[in-house]
Structure 1
Amino acid sequence: MHSLTGKTIIITGASSGIGAAAAKRFARAGAQLVLSSRREEPLAELSRAIEAGGGTARYLPGDVSDETCAAELVAFACLEFGGLDGAFNNAGTLGTLGPVTDLALTDWNEALGVNLTGAFLAAKHQIPALLESAKDGGNTGGSLLFTSSFVGNTAGMPGTAAYAAAKAGIAGLTRSLAAEYGPQGLRVNALLPGGTDTPMAHAMNDTEEAMNFVRGLHGLKRIARPEEIAEAALFLLSPASSFVTGTAMLADGGVSIQRT
């Protein structure tokens, strides 16, 4: 039920962290992968490693906030593998942190551009290809997945206004798309990780004291390994979640319910 054998899947933000872990996990599940991020060399290294392990991966670097990138990524997937069956739109940025009164408009626009506009552009160009693949012989309309966050959805954190607004917007976008395209068989979900051991998390919490504080916010008193979040993403993209759509699914280690 968690197999992706023969399925073509796009992963954005694939050069490190959750995206890289997802690429390795999806490859083991049999997916044909199209990987993207801003940084080319890590993508090339990851693709080579997946291919060396018997998987199938291609890569195309780009900026998810650029519509040309979104369109080219889908065209590349269709050219390489003949269609598109799913996408894990995982690329994101913390952006500039601090009080909203100190936040420049350019900083606000950057955070929303990558996190929210990037999700919109991905959906705009991926959905027609997903529906076309289903029409050409698939039994569903495919699966579309976005990485959101507990920040802005189940918790507020000081200094994260732009990031929180963008990630909350992804949850709204997810629900709207799920309702709009559900009659055609397309499933659309958002995944809300808790604190995860990624470069982004360490950039936000740059001392061991800060990381220990973050660990303590979680019910499990730890943060996730990227591989744990990748397993949740695999579930939402695979047939195992065939009746799951329109959700903002928490994989947050209990940070949303922890109060002591």
Structure 2
Amino acid sequence: MEPRNETHISGFLLLGFSEQPQLQPLLFGLFLSMYLITVCGNLLIILVTISDSHLHTPMYFFLSNLSFADICFTSTTVPKMLVNIQTQSQVITHAGCITQMFFFNLFVMLDDFLLTVMAYDRYVAICHPLHYTIIMHCGLCVFLVLASWTLSVLISLLHSLLVLRLSFCTHVEISHFFCELNQVVHLACSDTFLNDMVTYFASVLLGGGPLTGILYSYCKIASFICTISSAQGKYKAFSTCISHLSVVSLFYCTGLGVYLSPGATHSSL
């Protein structure tokens, strides 16, 4: 076997969506607008939740944390992409790539955990309304959010440390606009078996676990709604879940679209 050309690389190339110069201003304007709308919208939710005492409830406490996570999530990747478009540079340093990957994974997992916590909150509110304030007390809400943060930080840190141990070849082009874990790992020249196993088990446990919790909560909610006699009561109970269901559907459908796409599948081979 011929020895591979390994080196301590200084950075990676983010290929982005398109290399055509005429499309760069369009992409810059589109993503800048989407980023500003996302940040301003989530900031507005946080400010309204803090300022209105009527919204100091578990549901809005979790929602404000989710909004903060979404701001951080988009700020992890989009600003760097906008800078690269503006400067006509595709380079991100090795340290910058690892840092971006750490925070991206952290806030993706945090979103996932918070959505699960919010599903449990809706389950208690609809199925056990008389005991809602007793079950969802302040201490439990804070504990659930802190547990979500702690798990997200620890798992993201594990992924990042495992990437740091890898040696990379001279071919360091990432066919994305940010440092996506799976693509970065499979640019390595060294053995990635441990990385692949950790990623696989993390995907199964942290992807399937929260999704199972969400589905279980909504199965119980659906069963309870079916026992309500009046149509107005059913609509009122279900209407409190519509916004959460929409966010859950968007989150998981987007994730499946990204990681089951032909490009993502090809990059993992």
| TM-score using structure 1 length | 0.29
| TM-score using structure 2 length | 0.29
By relative contact order (CA 8 Å, sep 6+), the higher-ranking structure is 2
Q: Which has the higher strand share?
A: 1
User: Who wins on radius of gyration, i.e. which is larger?
Assistant: 2
Q: Which has the higher helix share?
A: 2
